[in-house]
Structure 1
Amino acid sequence: MSTAFFPRQIEIGPTCLEQLGEVASNLGGTHLLIVIDAFLVSSPYSYDEKIKNIAKQHQLEVTFFSDYRGEPTTDHLSAALNKMKGTGADCVVAIGGGSAIDLAKAVSLFALNPNIQWQEIASQTRLKRLPLIAVPTTAGTGSEATKVMVITDSQTQYKMNPGHRDLIPDAAILDPELSCSLPKQFTAYTGMDALTHAIEAYVSTNATAITDSYALLAISKIANALPKVYENGMDLEAREEMLMASCYAGIAFSNASTNLAHAAGRPLGARFNIPHGLSVSLLLPFVMEFSLKAAEERFGDIAENLGIQEVESRSKLAESAVKHVNELNEHFDIWKDGLKYIDLVDLEESIPVLVKDALSGNGITTNRKVPDSRDVKDLYLSLINKLKTIKECNAASL
């Protein structure tokens, strides 16, 4: 038996942001709290003015919240809820990357449940929340289609990622014109995050026929579109394909779970303040290699959907998937960019804490080969060795 949960409505295509007013009205919204990335309300984008015009056409009021930076925290949540007080806002809209969407999920939930405890969220039979609309401007997190939100505890710096089907947004609006503003490197980071979601969903022990279909579609679309948008960010057709792929990958992993690359990537990102997509893509090849023999047939399927052909055996085909992801990391400067954030000595000294945090998070038991502390330590050591090699090569080329 297969079960899957989805957003109730998905709009996709150039200019579909114009549907926001109608979608919000249909959900019963009269006053929208817009959680939006700060740069989007500044020149040259000024999406706040466009959104005001769309809202006015449907007799909707709007309040904007953009007082957050980086990945969302409990302090950001408190600030958003304070901004919301007294406005009469009855619908939450996220416009931005995964941080905006995750923060909006938390706002929509805590606005109606101010005393709920974070550890209680996943175990609730039902969650009451405000209507929620997600408008992603990046093709990576897939948060517009997922039941998970990632919020960092401002006191402990621990990344909490509770999941519940009622956190899935009611509607997702996928307008490729909004993603054209994403810089080249963040296009790569978010695109590799989407690829990681799809790969991990496909090899998850919770995978189903439904999630398999979405995961493989996402992998093939990313393989086709990500190199195109990396070279030409204004390619609207490829941007749309990436948004669709990210959404598909979100559906896949939301229902099947991610696994070791995300479990190990979350504490790495928190420790070194690394963009999420970069942190998971730094670890993905090593996780694939660790899991290879336990899911050889599935990694062969992944290779085929990455566009790899004419390999002499199924075993070699599976291995080629790992090689291809390594090559993507090189092409998108993932290894070089990792060195911009990571101090290798600090990383080596931090391994015991990173291992503990990785093993305590989601995604360990859904890995086809369940890792122990030694295995996770080896992942981080493999990353250190890789980055040392890259650093030496960079020095030699100067």
Structure 2
Amino acid sequence: MTSTYFPRQIEIGRDSLSELGRIALEMGVKNLFVIIDAFLIPELGYDKKVKDIVESKNIKVTFFSDYQGEPTTNHVKDALLKLNNEQSDCVVAIGGGSAIDIAKAVSLFGSNPTIKWEEIAETLKLNRLPLIAIPTTAGTGSEATKVMVVTNVETHQKMNPGHKDLVPDIAILDPVLTESLPPHFTAYTGMDALTHAIEAYISTKANPITDNFALTAIKMIRKSLPRAYKNGQDLDAREEMLLASSYAGIAFSNASTNLAHAIGRALGARFNIPHGLSVSLMLPFVLRYGLEATTEKYVEIGHALGVVNDGDDKKMAKSTIQYIDKMNDHYGIWQAGVKYINVEDLKENINILVEDALSGNGILTNRIVPTQKDVQDILLMLIEKLKKAGNNELITS
């Protein structure tokens, strides 16, 4: 038996942000606490836009943007202090995955100030404040997931508790909010969404519902990511990428990510790499590692990506991996990896990265449960690829 969870309402379309006031009224809330990425305020004026939208419905709004980088327990603590001072009764996130993860934590601790982080996943039912998620990137899918990632500043542990009650009540997918995302971040986040969908599809926890969401997301990303990357003002492509990201989020939230994310998280923490970039770097190597166990599913992924191959299933599966390798090349993933990763540092600390990867989520849901040597071999393949990229000798294998 399997269970699948996702938001109870998804609003999608250009300028759907303008529906926030109506939605708040329907939810019966009066005082919104909006966690918003800081750059959206001075550069794009989204605080004023949101204020005009909700105050026209006689709803109060307070903004919190005092955070940078990945979410930490200090960010959550600071936001909670402000939320309590304002006596807000609904949490809204406007931004990337960090804003949404902080919002999930604040909505939970705002109603449960004494609950401990380690108790979240094991609690039967979580009471929290109403939660609305409005993503400004098409990649994390956090607006549709039951997980959050927050770093404990005391232990430096990256905590990622999951619970069905952490899924936001409502997701608003407005492509206008993603219009200003530069091409390289469009690529990183888009490849993150693709990795979510692929790993969910090949996960040992996959089910018919998550498979459908995952394959649909892959097909949509194949169609819309090249257009959004080439022209950021293509709102049709932006809208489809937002929906694909949410579909992929639903898929992996319920089926889990796997080894590409496990190694990618360790790599990202070591070299301060944007999350989408780190998992994209690992995806082709992890797929190559799992080829023998998941050939049939690779074939279906290849069909969804439009890969053409007249050979047998094994050849088609290999062609699928080569196609994803070429996507990384097209979107500058390998070249960006060279800029972020010190290859000698990676070599010297490879055992630490292996341990970090194996201690994270996504290991047991991999079709082949990796050993330390397996992860080490995968990282050694990455090193060789980055050397070629750095020497302009990139050869897709």
TM-score interval for Structure 1 and Structure 2 normalised by the shorter chain: over 0.9
Q: Which residue of 2 aligns with 1:274?
A: 273
Give deviations 1:356-387, integer Å, cap 9, x for gaps: 12111110010011111111111111111111
2:176 matched to 1:184?
no
Give the Cα separation in 2 of the matches to 1:272 and 1:27: 42
Q: Secondary structure at the match of 1:35?
A: strand
Q: Secondary structure at the match of 1:133?
A: strand
Give the Cα separation in 2 of the matches to 1:144 and 1:390: 34
Give the Cα separation in 1 of the matches to 2:265 and 2:364: 16
- Report if aligned partners of 2:84, 2:110 keep a CA contact under 8 Å in 1: no
- Report if aligned partners of 1:73, 1:154 keep a CA contact under 8 Å in 2: yes
Q: Secondary structure at the match of 1:123?
A: coil
2:294 matched to 1:290?
no
- Aligned-residue offset at 1:2: 4.0
2:29 matched to 1:29?
yes
Q: Which residue of 2 aligns with 1:247?
A: 246
Q: Which residue of 2 aligns with 1:210?
A: 209
Give deviations 1:200-226, integer Å, cap 9, x for gaps: 000000000000000000000001110
Q: Which residue of 2 aligns with 1:263?
A: 262
Give deviations 1:51-95, integer Å, cap 9, x for gaps: 001111211111101111111111111111122231011100000
Q: Secondary structure at the match of 2:187?
A: helix
Q: Secondary structure at the match of 1:63?
A: strand
Which one-letter code corresponds to 1:156 in the other structure? T
Q: Which residue of 2 aligns with 1:368?
A: 367
Which one-letter code corresponds to 1:181 in the other structure? S
Give the Cα separation in 2 of the matches to 1:391 and 1:157: 32
Q: Which residue of 2 aligns with 1:201?
A: 200
Give the Cα separation in 2 of the matches to 1:310 and 1:385: 27
Q: Which residue of 2 aligns with 1:55?
A: 54
Kindly report the root-mean-square deviation, in angstroms, between the aligned alpha carbons of the 2 structures: 1.2
- Report if aligned partners of 1:201, 1:207 keep a CA contact under 8 Å in 2: yes
Give the Cα separation in 2 of the matches to 1:83 and 1:185: 34
Unaligned runs of 5+ in 1: none
Q: Which residue of 2 aligns with 1:154?
A: 153
Give the Cα separation in 2 of the matches to 1:264 and 1:23: 39
Identity %: 60
- Aligned-residue offset at 1:345: 1.2
2:98 matched to 1:99?
yes
Give deviations 1:223-252, integer Å, cap 9, x for gaps: 111011110000000001100100000000
Q: Which residue of 2 aligns with 1:64?
A: 63
Which one-letter code corresponds to 1:284 in the other structure? L
Give the Cα separation in 2 of the matches to 1:256 and 1:105: 20
Which one-letter code corresponds to 1:239 in the other structure? R
Q: Which residue of 2 aligns with 1:391?
A: 390
- Report if aligned partners of 1:102, 1:149 keep a CA contact under 8 Å in 2: yes
- Aligned-residue offset at 1:394: 7.3
Give deviations 1:10-61, integer Å, cap 9, x for gaps: 0000011111112122222211110001111113x10111100111121111
Q: TM-score, normalised by structure 1?
A: 0.97
Give the Cα separation in 2 of the matches to 1:159 and 1:25: 36
Q: Secondary structure at the match of 1:92?
A: strand
Give the Cα separation in 1 of the matches to 2:84 and 2:78: 10
- Aligned-residue offset at 1:4: 0.8
Q: Secondary structure at the match of 2:33?
A: strand
Q: TM-score, normalised by structure 2?
A: 0.97
- Report if aligned partners of 2:142, 2:249 keep a CA contact under 8 Å in 1: yes
Give the Cα separation in 1 of the matches to 2:57 and 2:378: 52
Which one-letter code corresponds to 1:5 in the other structure? Y
Q: Secondary structure at the match of 1:329?
A: helix
Q: Which residue of 1 aligns with 2:323?
A: 324
- Report if aligned partners of 1:3, 1:210 keep a CA contact under 8 Å in 2: no
Give the Cα separation in 2 of the matches to 1:178 and 1:48: 13
- Report if aligned partners of 2:221, 2:241 keep a CA contact under 8 Å in 1: yes
2:3 matched to 1:7?
no
